[in-house]
Amino acid sequence: MFRSFAFRPAERWCRSRSASSLFFPSWNFPIGLSLEPLVGAVAAGNAVVLKPSELAPASSNFLATNIPKYLEKTVRVVEGGPHMGEQLLEHKWDKIFFTGSSRVGRIIMAAAAKHLTPVSLELGGKCPAIIDTLTSEGDIRVTINRVAAAKWGLCSGQACIAIDYLLVEETFAPLLIDFLKAKIKKTYLEPETLARIAHKQHFQRLSNFLKDPAVAVSVVHGGSFNAENMSFEPTILLNPPLDSEIMTEEIFGPMLPIITLKKIEDSIEFLKARPKPLAIYAFTTNEKLKRKIIEETSSGGICFNDAVVQFALDGLPFGGTGESGFGKYHGKFSFDEFSHGKAILRRNFLIEVSVRYPPWNERKLQFIRHVYNFNYFGILRMLLGFKR
């Protein structure tokens, strides 16, 4: 109480808008990743220039045609590819919001540095799902539903928060694989169910993963692909080499490596030795394990017994840490991300204490000591002493 009393009258801080923001959304959720940050930027009172991804041309075109019909001139859409991106980066912005790969994230941040523009980088990473050895069949079925959906039901795994790979005890792996195979056969083989691979370059990248013989040999389900209609069969791999590309790069596709461990607690050390992902998932009822995961690993976020759904909750901040990026948004975090919290201190002329100013002497030093210690009696005594 006494500490806060010292600096009356009013101190408070208020929001002032960030001004003009530049958005670079990604191609996998081209409408969502454009408009979600836009909600925050507009709520915070900014003007926005949005450059949708040229790799999703129909969505880009949709945004370019429709945004001007509904929103004021303060929100502009600029279509184009990397060259347009570079030109936009040469200008001065008050904030740049980027969703995409680490490689391009570096380019964006380096360009922003020239104008000292703060950036928010929503990058990716390999989001692991730790699957504990569950004993209840009901729990296993629910787990399988959620794991499968967070891989093959989410843009065919082409999502920053899709499950990238699984960590499972070696004794549990065979059962899990059987369940996953059954789930794939039942739900994820219909062509209309699966999003296709977005573009040729990406398709090439994914098929290259399987060209590594040491990886190909670890395929236990699926593995086939069709270059003509850019489709990939949901694929499961068991223990591909940890130094292969499929285990060092973010997959961003419908391949699911399963890495087996002697015991599930080993997953903590496994994760600590690797770059921080955007999300860690863990399917377990073991409270001790949950505690350990929270306290000993680091990631953008954690979700227990489900996956991806954290994206839908506005009360939770969404964003990465380390290699998965920095800055956060969703809900009020979006508003904050695009605001500057300006400190306002209102003082008045009523009380003036000359001990703040030179020329200096021991008494002034003593008085300042009392002020910093919130020693009100000491202050009063000295003031009376000064008056005398």
User: Which residues are catalytically annotated?
Assistant: 122, 160
User: Which residues neighbour 5 within 8 Å (Cβ) at sequence distance 6 or greater?
Assistant: none
- 265 scored as a contact of other proteins (CB under 8 A): no
- 310 scored as a contact of other proteins (CB under 8 A): yes
Amino acid at 325: G
Alpha helices in 251-330 (DSSP H): 266-272, 287-296
Going by the DSSP 8-state scheme, the letter that residue 122 receives in this structure is: E
Residue 157 CB, nearest approach to other proteins (Å): 14
Query: Considering only 199-207, 223-231, 350-358, 378-386, which stretch makes contact with other proteins by CB under 8 A?
Result: 350-358
Interacting residue with other proteins among 58, 73, 201, 343 (CB under 8 A): 343
- Residue 9: cis peptide before it, omega within 30 degrees of 0: yes
Task: Output 346 or 387, the one with its CB closest to other proteins.
Answer: 346
- 2 scored as a contact of other proteins (CB under 8 A): no
Where in 144-173 is the site for other proteins (CB under 8 A)?
145, 148-149, 153
- 113 scored as a contact of other proteins (CB under 8 A): yes
Helix axes 376-387 and 362-372, enclosed angle (nearest 10): 150
- 301 scored as a contact of other proteins (CB under 8 A): yes
Task: Output 67 or 293, the one with its CB closest to other proteins.
Answer: 293
- 90 scored as a contact of other proteins (CB under 8 A): no
- 86 scored as a contact of other proteins (CB under 8 A): no
- 295 scored as a contact of other proteins (CB under 8 A): yes
Task: Output 20 or 260, the one with its CB closest to other proteins.
Answer: 20
Interacting residue with other proteins among 54, 368, 375, 378 (CB under 8 A): 368
Element at 67 (helix H, strand E): helix 57-70
Residue 224 CB, nearest approach to other proteins (Å): 20
User: Which residues neighbour 69 within 8 Å (Cβ) at sequence distance 6 or greater?
Assistant: none
# binding residues, other proteins (CB under 8 A) = 91
Task: Output 110 or 214, the one with its CB closest to other proteins.
Answer: 110
Other C-beta atoms within 10 Å of 222: how many? 21
Query: Considering only 54-62, 226-234, 349-357, 375-383, which stretch makes contact with other proteins by CB under 8 A?
Result: 349-357
Interacting residue with other proteins among 272, 376, 385, 386 (CB under 8 A): 272
CA atoms of 297 and 375, how far apart (whole Å): 44
Alpha helices in 189-265 (DSSP H): 200-211, 213-216, 245-248
CA 190, 194, 198, 203 dihedral sign is negative
CA atoms of 2 and 119, how far apart (whole Å): 39
- 78 scored as a contact of other proteins (CB under 8 A): no
Query: Considering only 49-57, 201-209, 230-238, 368-376, which stretch makes contact with other proteins by CB under 8 A?
Result: 368-376
Where in 170-199 is the site for other proteins (CB under 8 A)?
187-188, 190, 192-193
Where in 34-73 is the site for other proteins (CB under 8 A)?
none
Interacting residue with other proteins among 91, 200, 356, 381 (CB under 8 A): 356
CA atoms of 133 and 112, how far apart (whole Å): 47
Tell how strand 225-226 and strand 128-131 pair up.
unpaired
- 101 scored as a contact of other proteins (CB under 8 A): no
CA atoms of 65 and 50, how far apart (whole Å): 13
Residue 337 CB, nearest approach to other proteins (Å): 12
- 1 scored as a contact of other proteins (CB under 8 A): no
What tokens appear for 249 in the block?
Answer: 């790069």
CA atoms of 385 and 388, how far apart (whole Å): 5
152 and 234 Cβ atoms separated by less than 8 Å? yes
